[in-house]
């Protein structure tokens, strides 16, 4: 305990020794889990000034390693059972809670995935960073405030003197993540652990945060352990890469070598699954019937309206217009808050719009609930979160057949159609008798597609259908979308924040910013020759494989 | 009720014990008249007979020579009947109002919740006393009074559940598929809100037993029905001479209420599928 190295008092001999060395780490899972060990025989080394990316799909055990280093594994059921975690030569697994506490925050910093929930909403920003100092140092109030201001300025936040006394709700997701990084970096740790710090952020914000982490690392010379599922991010930030599959390290090495010449089949598969953003050639002749015409659609969200207050008005859509023909796909692209999802929900009738017209097969539709009745289920939607879009208490078959039955299709016919569609989406008819929780995220998204298809729709609105999925699953689901579009001659509105996905899926792309369509054109043209500054910024922010 | 449910339920030892106690109580209700053939209102022995003093009177007799064991057995029937029926009625009211308020939101929600608060603003026991006094004490009136004072928490719980479930995408998908609103409420949302409602119902049965006992203790029970609360109430004046008069019905109340609470906790574990494999 008392032998802990204090800040800045590193033995000179340890300079080229690894900051972090994990040796044969096993982490067990509770009985009844899908495998016995969450992490099996993991070994890795990380030197000062280097970034090591741990890459893998969800469930591969990559976050378990980060939590094991910090001593944050949940209780006796999930615990390290073998191996060593050497941090500056000290085995963290042998340390007790008090010993770990001295290291956390001061020698090892951690940044989490979800910036919206990682900050305490009722504490001022300054107080939250101040806690780090309080836990490890004793500083006079004035000096503490100075150091907090310095920490905020260090992560590139504008106007630290104002921010220090603000509450988290005033900050955007990217700014909150900067505050989290400021917390983690406050005491200049030797090791920074980042657990998917940019996954919840927009692509432009992601680029800024990655640049920030890289810049801080160069200045401070710390080691960064970066956990991600995105090979694009890896190529932007990593020096070393470790690829994990179901708890085992399947490939490790220098970033250039792993990206250029992956030795392992799984790594090759992961890299191949990354959408390349190759623009699709527009299909469907111009003479195909118009399915959807949107004219000057306007939608305003009013928040915080009470009995005596007018509330805050946000324009989610302002004069949005586009046409869509049978068999064609339009991509709505933009950052979160750009209004792309609001437009999608207006199109299917889940939320009303104020003005403008939506014409479905030449017929003008009313706004909101009546739109749903008028369209008779021919406009369907696939949602973002496959966990929330299936009723956990309803069997898959019943969920798919419920729609056609409500539209008057005889029960046995609806069930036959349901089995047929389940086979079509690659799940097999026997999936009908199972519960949603028995399926993985990608399989659930397939079920959702089958459910939408059961209504024999003519227009499919897909709201970020692959952004919650792993990259290899994402590729399969996108392929399925392309297949059903071809087979049923569907018109599709594909909402996404990912330009690479939009390029592969869409014939036309409309880029939205703050409720307005700022650029609209054929996919190839928008991607290769963007005219609007915002589109250019979006395209430049997309992480690219260096290879 | 699946295998997994029972596995999780049985992991909670207290809940299994509670279930056993409840089973014993139900057996008493069913075969009670065979075990205790005496009418609980009849004078069958000398008064103030201590427990086990005389064969056939394991719990002794009261001030008028009535058999306490018969009273406890017969009281189980009326206490449980009132508790279960009043819980069912208040569930009907509470789930109905809560579901409508939570699903539709807006002014419907505001109106219904203000109406609910009207009931919550009055202390529930005081309201129950007033209601029973107005209606004249009878089983029906007591059931109605308990139901009327105990539905507001159910309504609030169900409303909360519905407000959050309403936002889920599967509800939107059901709307897009053209399902009617009552159908969405009954088949999509309600099954997902079932577990907290079931757990709450088990605790409500317990509070209903206590409410009924308290009313009877104050002399507001049905005068034609022997109940645990009435027995404790009538023992009040002679507590120091004849402790057994209050202790046995009191024990019956404590055991049943405790058992119901334990079962409620077990149901919570059992119905919470996400707890599987974690913690405990």
| Optimal mutation site among B3, B177, B280, interface A, most CBs of chain A within 10 A | B177
Burial class (CB in 10 A: 0-12, 13-18, 19+), B160: middle
Say which residue the tokens 């897009």 belong to. Answer: B176
Residue A89 half-sphere exposure toward CB, CA atoms < 13 A: 10
User: What is the distance between the alpha carbons of residues A195 and A81, in angstroms, rounded to a whole number?
Assistant: 22
User: What is the distance between the alpha carbons of residues A451 and B149, in angstroms, rounded to a whole number?
Assistant: 44
Is the ipTM of this structure higher than 0.85? no
A242 in contact with chain B, both atoms CB, cutoff 8 A: no
Residue B49: inside a domain, yes or no? no
Residue B51: inside a domain, yes or no? no
> Is B143 within 8 Å of B230 (Cβ atoms)?
no
Q: Which residues of A519-534 are buried (b: 16+ CB within 10 A; e: fewer)?
A: bbbebbebbeebeeeb
Residue B123: inside a domain, yes or no? yes
Residue B11 is part of a domain; what is its CATH number? 1.10.3720.10
**At CB < 8 Å, which residues of chain B contact A?**
168-170, 172-180, 183, 187-188, 191-192, 194, 273, 276-279
pTM beyond 0.90: no
* Full residue range of the structural domain in which residue B187 is found: 3-31+68-273
Residue A282 tokens, joined: 């527009």
Please tell me which residue of chain A has the smallest CA distance to B166: A388
Residue A374 to chain B, least CA–CA distance (Å): 10
A352 in contact with chain B, both atoms CB, cutoff 8 A: no
A119 in contact with chain B, both atoms CB, cutoff 8 A: no
Residue B40: inside a domain, yes or no? no
Residues 6+ apart with CB under 8 A from B239: B245, B246
- Which of B168, B177, B277 has the CB atom closest to A388's CB atom? B168
User: What is the distance between the alpha carbons of residues A436 and B253, in angstroms, rounded to a whole number?
Assistant: 43
Residue B47: inside a domain, yes or no? no
Residue B152 to chain A, least CA–CA distance (Å): 25
Q: A272: helix, coil or strand? A: helix
Residue B181, phi then psi, degrees to nearest 5: -60, -50
The per-residue DSSP string of A310-334 comes to: --EEEEEEEEEEEEEETT-EEEEE-
Residue B48: inside a domain, yes or no? no
Taking contacts as CB-CB distances below 8 angstroms, the residues of chain A near B168 are: 388-389
Taking contacts as CB-CB distances below 8 angstroms, the residues of chain B near A435 are: none
- Which of A30, A380, A451 has the CB atom closest to B277's CB atom? A30
Contact criterion met (CB < 8 Å) for A403 and B179: yes
Neighbours of A479 (CB within 10 A): 11
Residue B36: inside a domain, yes or no? no
Contact criterion met (CB < 8 Å) for A394 and B276: no
> Is A425 within 8 Å of A446 (Cβ atoms)?
yes
Q: A302: helix, coil or strand? A: strand
A374 in contact with chain B, both atoms CB, cutoff 8 A: no
Residue A345 to chain B, least CA–CA distance (Å): 10
Residue B225: inside a domain, yes or no? yes
Q: How many domains does chain B have?
A: 1
**Would you give per-residue pLDDT tens digits along chain A (547 residues)?**
444 444 444 444 445 688 999 999 999 888 777 788 888 889 999 998 899 999 988 888 888 898 899 888 887 788 888 899 999 888 988 888 888 888 888 899 999 888 888 888 889 999 999 988 988 888 898 999 999 999 998 888 888 888 888 888 888 888 888 899 999 888 889 999 999 888 878 888 888 889 999 988 988 889 999 998 888 888 888 999 999 988 899 999 998 898 888 889 989 888 888 877 666 666 656 678 888 999 999 988 876 666 666 667 778 888 999 999 988 999 999 888 788 888 999 999 888 888 898 999 888 888 878 888 888 889 999 998 888 889 988 889 999 999 999 888 899 999 999 999 999 998 888 888 888 888 888 899 999 999 999 999 999 999 989 888 888 888 889 999 999 998 898 999 999 988 888 888 899 999 998 889 999 988 888 888 889 999 988 888 887 754 3
Residue A382, phi then psi, degrees to nearest 5: -115, 130
A31 in contact with chain B, both atoms CB, cutoff 8 A: yes
């Amino acid at each position: 305990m008392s032998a802990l190295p204090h800040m800045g008092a590193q033995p000179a001999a340890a300079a080229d020794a690894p900051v972090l060395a994990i040796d044969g780490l096993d982490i067990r899972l509770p009985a009844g889990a899908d495998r016995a060990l969450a992490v099996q025989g993991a070994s890795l080394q990380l030197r000062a000034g280097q970034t090591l990316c741990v890459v893998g799909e969800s469930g591969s055990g990559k976050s378990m390693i980060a939590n094991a280093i910090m001593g944050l594994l949940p209780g006796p059921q999930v615990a390290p059972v073998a191996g060593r975690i050497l941090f500056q030569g000290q085995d963290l697994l042998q340390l007790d809670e008090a010993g770990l506490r001295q290291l956390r925050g001061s020698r090892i910093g951690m940044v989490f995935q979800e910036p919206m929930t990682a900050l305490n909403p009722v504490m001022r920003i300054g107080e939250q960073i101040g806690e780090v100092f309080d836990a490890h140092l004793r500083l006079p109030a004035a000096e503490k405030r100075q150091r907090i201001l310095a920490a905020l300025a260090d992560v590139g936040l504008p106007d630290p003197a104002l921010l220090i006394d603000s509450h988290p709700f005033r900050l955007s997701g990217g700014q909150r993540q900067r505050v989290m990084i400021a917390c983690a970096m406050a005491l200049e740790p030797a090791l920074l652990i980042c657990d998917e710090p940019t996954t919840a952020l927009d692509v432009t914000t992601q680029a800024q945060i990655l640049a920030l982490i890289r810049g801080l690392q160069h200045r401070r010379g710390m080691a960064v352990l970066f956990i991600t599922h995105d090979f694009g991010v890896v190529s932007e930030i990593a020096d070393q890469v470790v690829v994990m599959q179901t708890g085992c390290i399947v490939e490790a090495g220098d970033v250039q070598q792993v990206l250029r010449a992956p030795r392992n089949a799984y790594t090759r598969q992961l890299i191949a699954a990354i959408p390349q953003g190759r623009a699709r050639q527009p299909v469907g002749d111009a003479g195909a019937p118009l399915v959807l015409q949107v004219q000057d659609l306007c939608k305003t969200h009013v928040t915080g309206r009470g009995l005596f207050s007018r509330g805050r008005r946000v324009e989610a859509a302002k004069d949005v217009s586009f046409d869509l023909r049978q068999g064609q796909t339009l991509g709505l692209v933009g950052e979160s808050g750009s209004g792309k999802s609001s437009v999608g929900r207006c199109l299917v009738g889940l939320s009303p719009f104020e003005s403008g017209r939506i014409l479905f097969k030449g017929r003008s539709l009313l706004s909101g609930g009546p739109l749903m009745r008028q369209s008779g289920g021919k406009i369907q939607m696939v949602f973002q979160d496959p966990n929330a879009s299936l009723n956990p208490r309803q069997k898959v078959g019943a969920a798919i057949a419920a729609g056609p039955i409500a539209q008057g299709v005889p029960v046995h016919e609806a069930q036959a159609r349901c089995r047929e569609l389940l086979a079509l989406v690659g799940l097999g008819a026997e999936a009908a008798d199972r519960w949603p929780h028995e399926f993985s995220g990608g399989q659930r998204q397939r079920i959702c597609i089958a459910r939408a298809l059961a209504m024999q729709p003519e227009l499919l609105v897909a709201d970020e259908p692959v952004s919650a999925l792993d990259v290899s699953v994402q590729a399969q689901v996108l392929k399925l979308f392309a297949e059903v579009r071809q087979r049923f001659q569907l018109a599709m509105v594909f909402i996404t924040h990912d330009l690479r996905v939009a390029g592969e899926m869409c014939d036309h792309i409309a880029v939205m910013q703050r409720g307005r369509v700022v650029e609209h054109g054929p996919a190839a043209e928008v991607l290769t020759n963007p005219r609007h500054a915002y589109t250019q910024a979006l395209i430049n922010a997309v992480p690219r494989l260096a290879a | 009720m699946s295998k997994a449910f029972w596995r999780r339920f049985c992991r909670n030892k207290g809940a299994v014990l509670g279930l056993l106690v409840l089973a014993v109580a139900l057996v008493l209700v069913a075969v009670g008249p065979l075990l205790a053939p005496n009418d609980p209102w009849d004078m069958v022995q000398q008064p103030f007979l201590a427990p086990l003093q005389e064969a056939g009177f394991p719990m002794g007799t009261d001030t008028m020579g009535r058999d306490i064991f018969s009273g406890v057995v017969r009281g189980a029937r009326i206490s449980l009947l009132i508790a279960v029926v009043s819980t069912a009625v208040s569930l009907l009211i509470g789930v109905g109002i809560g579901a409508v308020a939570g699903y539709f939101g807006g002014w419907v929600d505001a109106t219904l919740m203000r109406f609910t608060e009207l009931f919550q603003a009055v202390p529930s026991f005081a309201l129950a006393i007033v209601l029973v006094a107005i209606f004249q004490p009878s089983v029906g009136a007591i059931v109605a009074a308990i139901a009327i004072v105990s539905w507001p928490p159910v309504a609030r719980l169900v409303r909360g559940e519905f407000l959050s479930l309403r936002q889920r995408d599967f509800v939107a998908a059901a709307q897009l598929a053209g399902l009617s609103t009552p159908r969405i409420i009954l088949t999509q949302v309600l099954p997902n809100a079932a577990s907290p409602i079931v757990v709450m119902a088990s605790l409500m049965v317990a509070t209903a037993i206590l409410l009924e006992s308290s009313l009877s203790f104050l002399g507001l029970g049905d005068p034609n029905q022997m109940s645990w609360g009435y027995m404790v109430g009538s023992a009040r004046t002679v507590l120091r001479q004849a402790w057994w008069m209050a202790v046995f019905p009191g024990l019956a109340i404590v055991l049943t209420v405790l058992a119901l609470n334990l079962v409620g906790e077990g149901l919570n574990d059992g119905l919470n599928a996400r707890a599987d494999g974690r913690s405990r």
